[in-house]
Amino acid sequence: MIAYRLITNDDTSEFCHRVTEAVSKGWTLYGSPSYAFDATKGVMRCAQAVTKDVPDQDYTPDVKLGAL
């Protein structure tokens, strides 16, 4: 299975740490990061898609993607 996650957060170092943690656990960046202004909160929001090949696991909707 190829797992897909979209990591999102406010534009802070916490977002960068979440992406860095995913990459260090074998996830691969997928595409470019996205940024958008959240007018309700008055902050920039970030998003980065990541994928991971997990050959020995079949997909089911209850897979905990962050635990892969």
- pLDDT tens digits for 20-36? 999 999 999 999 999 99
Q: Could you give the CA distance from residue 7 to residue 48 in angstroms, rounded to a whole number?
A: 5
Which amino acid is residue 66, in one-letter code?
G
**Ranges under pLDDT 70 in the chain:** none
> 42: which residues sit within 8 A by CB, 6+ positions away?
none
Chain-centroid distance of CA 40 in Å reads 22
- pTM > 0.85: yes or no: yes
Number of H-type helices and E-type strands within the chain? 1, 3
